[in-house]
A = this chain, B = another copy of it.
Amino acid sequence: MTTKHEIRRGAYADSVILMKVQKGLAGLPGVDDAAVVMATPANKDVLRSTGFDLTGIDVGADDLLIVVKAADEQTAAEAIAQVDGLMKQRPSGGAAGFRPKSLRRAADMLPDASWVIVSVPGRYAAAVADEALALGKHVMLYSDNVPLADEAKLKQKARASGLLVMGPDCGTAIINGVGLGFANRVQRGRIGVVGASGTGIQAITVAVHQLGGGISQAIGTGGRDLKEAVGGITMIDGIDLLAADAETDVIVIVSKPPSPHIAQAVLNAARTAGKPVVIYFMGQFAPGQRLGNLAFAQSLQEAAALAVAPQGRDGGAEKDGNNKGYLRGLFSGGTLAYECVMMCQAVLAPLYTNVPVGTAQPLADVHASQHHTIVDMGEDVFTQGRLHPMMDGSLRLRRLQKEAADPDTAVILLDVLLGDGAQADPAAELAPAIAAITQARPDIAIGIILIGTDSDPQNSDGQIDQLEQAGAAVFRSVDGAAAMAIGQLAAVTAAASSVAPLPQTFAAINVGVETFHDSLQAQGASVIQVDWRPPAGGNDKLAAILAKMKGR
């Protein structure tokens, strides 16, 4: 067995072509294995790990490396000699026809094209996408290894022009029923998806299809869209777009966990979408199962199921409240307080508490509320040498009166735990105080989470009656009370999105991987392939000089 190699300095070839050449070589009689790759450090690692010996081969990232393992020297040499012939074999698709050399020329040839699909190597991709935006096109940027700063700049530019940049590293989208990049053929329907994850979008759209639903639009954002540097621009614009889309009834969002600040912006957009929104932030705890029009999934499969199932629409188009005041939660049950914080921190900010979780921040002074505040009054600091508030409600009663006197208070949440060991008649103590508040401050909504049964010594029904007659809304679990509070309070107004509705038809220009052209064509879409080459043949210095001469 012998190994022979050849290096082509500064030669560029599309990776689809390289794969075909590589498979062609490896299939020749007497050839054991072959590699035809751009000699990036990563690719060299891969070659080494798959049994190619690269010692003594001096080759750089811009060079094309051909390596052949064969039975003997001659077979290897003959294989390498076939490379040029194999390179010239064009794929069979329509891309073999006339191909313009520039994006501008392609745009002239197919003026209906509202999308440009870019899959050139990462370091060239931002420039191509930038050119596409300048031509007024939406961009799907399949390429990876695009600098984060470039991504942020492109998306800001796109937003300013009412355009969408999907990606970089956006592998999947379905626009007007046409699959872009890697996409599955699924029924058209009324579920819209915005995903920072390509295979996540594939898995959800396929599951929706299998469950009998269909997809209106599936918008990819690229995996870094929800990082602080980018600010979730495509995710938020995508949600706004689907919120305004008459063909979309339910929206599904999928992403790895965003930074807390971005998560809140995204959830704000979702809250104000006026449609049910299913959210799957993978690897982040879900703030409850449902929160108004928001439903939280724990797997790709569940996200699809929640979107398709009728109860996925139950949340309805709840309008958010317009009360600019604050939530004040005064709890005696630690876990109820914690769960309430978990749920509310997703959309209320800033939220202060003595049981911080998620984006909630610790209270400077547990005895004084600031902004939105949830206090667990069963914490040690309140109970040392003193009865638990479930037995002695006096301390909370004082705090309740203090909150009611605060002009910034808009919603008050309390919990009441019945049962053995607890106060004999908590409603008798709370109801008069609540009645006084509803009288003096009719602008304050009071919600009570009552945990107890009809068999408890206090009898839940009687307690509920007293509390409701005093003017409180009584809930039997935290979910409903948190949703009420959130519903009362105004969502933080997001920067208005200016993305125009997508055109009804789909036509595109493809720059890069030719199979994407072919698959668009196979789906019946109008598409034109640009015969793209790296500027100055991949010579970066020369390319920079050329760009300067063009005044860019």
**A positions within 8 Å CB-CB of B:** 15-16, 18-19, 22-23, 37-43, 45-46, 49-50, 61, 121, 144-145, 171, 179, 181-186, 197-200, 202-203, 206-207, 209-210, 223, 254, 256-257, 282-286, 288-289, 296, 298-302, 332-336, 338-339, 342-343, 357-358, 365, 367-368, 378, 380-388, 390-392, 394-395, 398, 415, 417-422, 451-453, 455-457, 476-479, 513, 515-516, 519-520, 522-523
Contact = CB atoms under 8 A, between A and B. Distances in A.
A283 B357 contact: yes
A-B residue pairs, 6 tightest by C-beta: A199-B333, A38-B385, A49-B367, A420-B519, A200-B335, A184-B419
A549 B284 CA distance: 56
Contacts of A22: 394
Contact of A418 (B184, B207, B257): B184
15 contacts: A15-B385, A38-B384, A42-B381, A43-B385, A49-B367, A185-B456, A186-B453, A198-B333, A199-B336, A202-B451, A206-B451, A206-B452, A283-B358, A300-B335, A301-B479
A37 B392 CA distance: 13
Nearest to A420: B519
Given A391-B19, A516-B421, A380 B144 contact: yes
A299 B477 contact: yes
A298 B302 contact: no
Contact of A515 (B334, B391, B516): B391
A181 B522 CA distance: 69
What copy number does this chain have within its complex?
Answer: 2
A146 to B, nearest CB: 11
Contact of A392 (B19, B336, B358, B417): B19
A234 to B, nearest CB: 17
Given A50-B395, A200-B335, A451-B184, A420 B298 contact: no
A332 B46 CA distance: 15
A13 to B, nearest CB: 10
Nearest to A33: B398
Contacts of A200: 335
A387 B335 CA distance: 50
Contact of A289 (B202, B299, B390, B453): B299
A296 B289 CA distance: 11
A95 to B, nearest CB: 14
Given A19-B392, A184-B451, A453-B209, A382 B46 contact: yes
A50 B477 contact: no
Contacts of A207: 476-477
B419 A183 contact: yes
A482 to B, nearest CB: 10
Contact of A421 (B289, B367, B519): B519
Given A49-B367, A203-B333, 17 more contacts: A16-B387, A37-B385, A38-B386, A42-B382, A42-B383, A46-B382, A61-B385, A182-B390, A184-B452, A185-B456, A197-B335, A199-B333, A207-B477, A283-B357, A285-B285, A387-B513, A420-B520
B282 A335 contact: yes
A384 B42 contact: yes
A380 B289 contact: no
A516 B210 CA distance: 55
B184 A283 contact: no
A120 B453 CA distance: 29
B387 A15 contact: yes
Contacts of A382: 42, 46
Contacts of A388: 171, 182
B386 A43 contact: yes
Contact of A42 (B256, B357, B385): B385
Contacts of A455: 184-186, 209
A75 B184 CA distance: 83
Contacts of A368: 49
Nearest to A284: B285
Contacts of A285: 257, 282-286, 298
Given A186-B455, A199-B335, A288-B299, A181 B387 contact: no
A415 to B, nearest CB: 8
A302 B283 contact: no
A547 B23 CA distance: 84
Given A16-B387, A144-B383, A182 B42 contact: no
Contacts of A145: 380, 384
B334 A197 contact: yes
Nearest to A281: B285
A486 B418 CA distance: 41
B384 A453 contact: no
Nearest to A358: B283
Contact of A451 (B19, B199, B380, B515): B199
Contacts of A300: 335-336, 339, 477-478
A525 to B, nearest CB: 10
A223 to B, nearest CB: 8
B202 A421 contact: no
